[in-house]
Chain A
């Protein structure tokens, strides 16, 4: 006797459909909750909006800056600034095809607030082996705060296409051990 073919029927499918639909919704919501929790706990160096994007800096308004002229702004002399309260500010200017300063020295274990801007096109500020990853936009200041824990050199990679020399836009952060 030939085996009877058991075909799927409407009612069974509908039951599984509903279960599957429920799982999908719960999963999506749980994912969002998990990310929201990690956002609140500060594990991600969040990129500030115009309220925090260096609005207190000279020559910067609502996180915007004149990309043609950095005179009078902290970006005229890029580099690390010791705020004398245990925190640091790092000012970085991106230009095709290098970051200024080419080597940024930062102390380990101290919060550093970065302020990035571009003098020409879009660039990306990606620090290897970390979750520091910000778009550097001409006319805008990108700002975030992060703490580098272990001393040593880290590559900075431009990860936004900026022209024929894009792949050579590589610089360094040197995380220095605290002075004994």
Chain B
């Protein structure tokens, strides 16, 4: 055995050395080039405003869906009929605009801007603008058939229901553009690493790069579905389509995409909310661990959406279920960290007692309040998600109203309400305009939260009674949902009320947003509304060699990315290869166009 003093793994490492500055909020490198900074802010603003325009239209359609689940069919109204051919077209628009367009545009702006500022990087603005234009072009292409009732496929667009080719091509271009944003951020980070050898990646950049890397692994399923299954099929290059291969590839991306929506909200909760509330980040190393767990574990879980599907091995279904349960861990860690940061904030403001401190949080601040309410909704959403992911319980609620009940308090509140709350400071920061009507902003987040709680209770309840999701249940030929033995009156009433509350809350929010955007520029957002970086209780430090084991282990993100890719190939490869070997092609069908009804 060698006793070389160079290798002394048995000796304890010296305690991580942290400088006093590590505990204080990060000071981001200044950007001197004013024209560049203005352009960076402009492109971010374009992404964010496009996102909220999509949400605006989506939110206006929302109550129509809620009323349906209250047993009231409004789709026969002649004025509405001129705009929307069916409930299903309304639902397709609502789902695509809110869940796919709003999220992706907001995240592409938010997670392009944050790391660029965090690193003080100079990114290629032509590329950034080109990506925005490409994403918007894709959106507009997909929007045409959607608005013309030629792609009434809901946001899952399961074949062999076949829409107009423009929808598939447009959606593919839109998603591909988000991958270019991902690449631009990752390449910028690699440049930063080269320029700063031996340094720990700053937290915001770390979390952002992790999220984009996760999205690149997750998106492979959808990219594969679009390029190798759907597009060749709609252009007639294949005799048909295997619906099960398409569905499996869809859920490869389709579940991980919820983490792609959620993590950008987590970034705000971890990095900025403590400062906004007057507290400190609990632990930077723990935040890094959380994000790495999401990078590794977000994607190989999608088969839990397919328990009801035939010809997929039950062993793989159970493996994916177990991995889904494991993804709860980083979310539980987040709950701990954020609650800790908020408690720290409240105690600094004079809060006392085991729960009494909660009242000392800055409840008058719409941005803080919105994000806290978003988190509260996610407690129910996360717990419901674990139930939903269980193979034992899934058959009872699969494709019932329970599911939209679930995802309206996850993506519909935890994510959407967070993004709305972030916009209360982000828009003033980007534009130099002041938030219009802060009191109205505060009311709007409370109403959104209250509406979603009503909706969630109503829809979970209806689902347990056996009412299916995505169905015009208010106008069935047989009145099995409204009458008979179901006793659905109370949950239906709750759902109907939720539609009204959400419409009012939504309109108030959009009044605040548009009034802010249309107001004159009054000051420099850099000065009056700087990025709310927070102080830290347990920092990661900046010197890699002296950082803790956790920080050093999580730092090589490129290697962890390769592990994530290997893991997803391992967990999906055997399933997909077997499906391909047994491919069973069927023709496309259209049962949604007016007067249509048939297969090719």
* B404 contacts A by Cβ under 8 Å: no
Q: How far is the CB of B363 from chain A (nearest CB, A)?
A: 19
Q: How far is the CB of B352 from chain A (nearest CB, A)?
A: 8
* B438 contacts A by Cβ under 8 Å: no
Which parts of B329-368 form the interface with A (CB within 8 Å)? Answer: 329, 332-333, 336-337, 340, 343-344, 347-348, 350
Q: How far is the CB of B61 from chain A (nearest CB, A)?
A: 16
* A138 contacts B by Cβ under 8 Å: yes
B310 adjacent to A164 (CB under 8 Å)? no
Q: A28-B325, A131-B395, A142-B310 known; A170 and B480 CB under 8 Å?
A: yes
Which parts of B307-334 form the interface with A (CB within 8 Å)? Answer: 307-314, 318, 321-322, 325-326, 328-329, 332-333
A124 adjacent to B347 (CB under 8 Å)? no
Q: How far is the CB of A39 from chain B (nearest CB, A)?
A: 6
Q: Which residues of B have CB within 8 Å of A164?
A: 86, 88, 591-592
* B161 contacts A by Cβ under 8 Å: yes
> Cα distance A23–B336 when bound, in Å?
12
Q: How far is the CB of A177 from chain B (nearest CB, A)?
A: 19
* B580 contacts A by Cβ under 8 Å: no
User: Which of chain A's residues has its CB closest to B468's CB?
Assistant: A159
A8 adjacent to B347 (CB under 8 Å)? yes
Q: Which residues of B have CB within 8 Å of A145?
A: none
Q: How far is the CB of B246 from chain A (nearest CB, A)?
A: 10
B395 adjacent to A120 (CB under 8 Å)? no
> Cα distance A70–B394 when bound, in Å?
31
Q: A132-B395, A159-B398 known; A62 and B318 CB under 8 Å?
A: no
B480 adjacent to A137 (CB under 8 Å)? no
Q: Which residues of A have CB within 8 Å of B158?
A: 121-122, 160-161
Contact flags B550-593 to A (C-beta < 8 A → 1, else 0): 00000000000000000000000000001000101111010110
A96 adjacent to B391 (CB under 8 Å)? no
* B473 contacts A by Cβ under 8 Å: yes
Q: Which residues of B have CB within 8 Å of A3?
A: 350
A120 adjacent to B391 (CB under 8 Å)? no
Contact flags B151-174 to A (C-beta < 8 A → 1, else 0): 000101010110000000000000
A44 adjacent to B243 (CB under 8 Å)? no
B333 adjacent to A21 (CB under 8 Å)? yes
Q: Which listed residue, B307, B329, B348, B399, touches A21 by the CB 8 Å rule?
A: B329
Contact flags B449-486 to A (C-beta < 8 A → 1, else 0): 00000000000000000101111110111101000000
* B390 contacts A by Cβ under 8 Å: yes
Q: Which residues of B have CB within 8 Å of A161?
A: 88, 154, 156, 158, 161, 470-471
* A104 contacts B by Cβ under 8 Å: no
Q: Which residues of B have CB within 8 Å of A16?
A: 336, 340
Interface centre among B325, B343, B394, B395 (most CB of A within 10 A): B395
> Cα distance A135–B167 when bound, in Å?
25
B344 adjacent to A137 (CB under 8 Å)? no
Q: Which listed residue, A7, A17, A131, touches B396 by the CB 8 Å rule?
A: A131
A28 adjacent to B310 (CB under 8 Å)? no
B333 adjacent to A7 (CB under 8 Å)? no
Q: A9-B537, A120-B160, A163-B597 known; A141 and B310 CB under 8 Å?
A: yes
Q: Which residues of A have CB within 8 Å of B582?
A: 50, 62-64
Q: How far is the CB of B293 from chain A (nearest CB, A)?
A: 11
Interface residues on A, range: 35 or more
Q: How many A-B residue pairs have CB under 8 A?
A: 227
Binding-face segment, A30-38, A74-82, A84-92, A105-113: A30-38
* B237 contacts A by Cβ under 8 Å: no
> Cα distance A39–B390 when bound, in Å?
10
> Cα distance A157–B399 when bound, in Å?
10
* A134 contacts B by Cβ under 8 Å: yes
Q: Which residues of B have CB within 8 Å of A168?
A: 476-478
A137 adjacent to B478 (CB under 8 Å)? no
Contact flags B518-540 to A (C-beta < 8 A → 1, else 0): 00000000000000000001100
B589 adjacent to A121 (CB under 8 Å)? yes
* A49 contacts B by Cβ under 8 Å: yes
**Contact surface of A with B, Cβ cutoff 8 Å:** 3, 5-10, 13-14, 16-17, 20-21, 23-25, 27-29, 31-32, 34-36, 38-39, 43-50, 53, 62-68, 96-97, 116, 120-122, 124, 126, 128-129, 131-135, 137-143, 155, 157-168, 170
What are 29 A-B interface contacts by the 8 Å CB criterion? A7-B348, A10-B283, A13-B282, A17-B336, A24-B329, A24-B332, A31-B386, A35-B321, A38-B392, A44-B392, A47-B309, A48-B310, A68-B586, A68-B587, A121-B599, A133-B395, A133-B399, A135-B306, A135-B308, A137-B244, A138-B160, A139-B244, A140-B310, A142-B311, A143-B310, A161-B88, A161-B471, A163-B597, A165-B591
Shortest 5 CB-CB contacts between residues of A and residues of B? A163-B591, A139-B584, A142-B310, A159-B399, A64-B584
